[in-house]
Amino acid sequence: MIVQRGEKTIINGFVKQVRDLGKICFLIIRDINGEYQVTIKDEKLLSQAKELKDESVVRVEGKRVENPSVINGWELIPEKIEIYTIAEQPLPLNLSIKSGLDKEIDYRFLSLRIPRIASIFKIESTVNNAIQEFFNKNGFFTIHTSKIVAAATEGGANVFPILYFDKQAFLAQSPQFYKQMMMSAGFEKVIEIGPVFRAEPHHDTRHLCEYTSIDIEVSYIKSYEDIMKYLEKALQYTIKKVIKINQKELEILGIKLEIPKLPFPRITMKEAKEILKSKYNKEEEEDLDPEGERLMGSYVKETYNSDFFFLTEFPWSVAQFYHMRKKEDNNVTYRADLIYKGLEISTLAQREHRYEILLNQLKEKGLHPEEFKFYLDFFRYGVPPHGGAGLGLERIVKQMLNLENVQESTLLPRTPTHLVP
Ligand code: ATP
Ligand code: MG
């Protein structure tokens, strides 16, 4: 952190390197914004600098002197050095080479000092804030729903049970029911950005057991097209913000972002199956698997020059009980997925708000109404038509920055093998 106090400049940061040339010593100091050179010639300060070890934390106070041959075009000639802490040597993680992902996660506090890795999380901060800001500007209320729930949202098996005093409870896998409750409560438009938990024993590059879910829900929609419009505008807004705010970080990561053009292509599941016919022999499957998503991603890139597309009209067989079915065809729903560079980043849908139909759909999916009483009650005393979406923050950033693994855009990944730190 740099502080300017009159003529004096103060640099607080980590010692990246001590270059001791005897009568002169160069310190390279790093903070969250960059690196700075400190040039020491004073004898007393020289002996102090020689005590320093890499990654120690210091405060250096002195005068800034223009010098076109050093980083930033200036160097600090110090008058005072204060050593806050000396770093033990050797460091458990070498910060100047690429270590494996597991090791980088094991020593998160150290790997985050590497500008390449810090850049990912600085961009993630922008993405989070931009999405929040976009929806708030559009009249959405921010909510926070409980993450301790009595029943699984979808009656599914991928929940973490917890002991809640003498009862069994679960960690929430989605705020789905509560954001719908807010529609029933008349809040019209809500957004929640918060953690969700999924006991998915995957060992792949796109699943976490805890991730940051961006959830929106909107009342009085005409169709799920309204939700798609919100999402594409929000993503365009977000990418513009990242380009504006994170130029330096994008450069460090070697990423050139382009503002996506609207509208994103819409392709029905039926059309996708047709397109994939020659390249993909899984026609009997109702959903697209990751390979299908990837192939469709390349097709859309080639055909429309777009990184994004909406895959629409999912079959009822892979929909949730609360998704609304198409008026003209009971086997199709108003559910869509948003695919970014060949990976799902969002599922969105118009919800079924008519009580009797909802109840029947729930039964048709083999679920028990008594277990969903609190949810079903939202639909008995007046509820607007509504729809919404859930997006994974870490997946958006993974795709934006062409990262190989979603764990790279997760501060503290929880996976079947990672529980510490
Ligand atoms: P997938 O089919 O890829 O496992 P999903 O369809 O089960 O995902 P949804 O319930 O639709 O996921 O969740 C909405 C969004 O949340 C997804 O589009 C994705 O961006 C993100 N997401 C879902 N599950 C995970 C996970 N385990 N780890 C990270 N992000 C996730
Ligand atoms: Mg989904």
395 Cα nearest atom in ligand 1: 20
- Ligand 1 mutation target, pool 294, 347, 414, most atoms within 8 A of CB: 347
Question: What phi, psi does 360 have (nearest 5°)?
Answer: -65, -40
Question: What phi, psi does 258 have (nearest 5°)?
Answer: -115, 145
Q: DSSP secondary-structure letter at 96?
A: T
338 Cα nearest atom in ligand 1: 18
Ligand 2 centre distance from Cα of residue 33 (Å): 36
Question: Whole-structure pTM over 0.85, yes or no?
Answer: yes
Give pLDDT, residue 353: 98
Ligand 1 centre distance from Cα of residue 259 (Å): 24
Alpha carbons 75 and 221: distance in angstroms, whole number: 58
Alpha carbons 333 and 326: distance in angstroms, whole number: 5
Alpha carbons 271 and 228: distance in angstroms, whole number: 18
- The domains of the chain, with CATH numbers, are 2-85 (2.40.50.140), 109-409 (3.30.930.10)
Give pLDDT, residue 223: 98
Q: DSSP secondary-structure letter at 355?
A: H
Per-residue pLDDT of the chain in tens (421 residues, 90 and over written 9): 999 999 999 999 999 999 999 999 999 999 999 999 999 999 999 999 999 999 999 999 999 999 999 999 999 999 999 999 999 999 999 999 999 999 999 999 999 999 999 999 999 999 999 999 999 999 999 999 999 998 776 666 799 999 999 999 999 999 999 999 999 999 999 999 999 999 988 889 999 999 999 999 999 999 999 999 999 999 999 999 999 999 999 999 999 999 999 999 999 999 999 999 888 777 667 789 999 999 999 999 999 999 999 999 999 999 999 999 999 999 999 999 999 999 999 999 999 999 999 999 999 999 999 989 999 999 999 999 999 999 999 999 999 999 999 999 999 999 999 999 9
Residues with CB under 6 A from ligand 1: 198, 200, 206-208, 211, 213, 344-347, 390-392, 394-395, 406
Q: Which ligand is nearest to the CA of 174?
A: 1
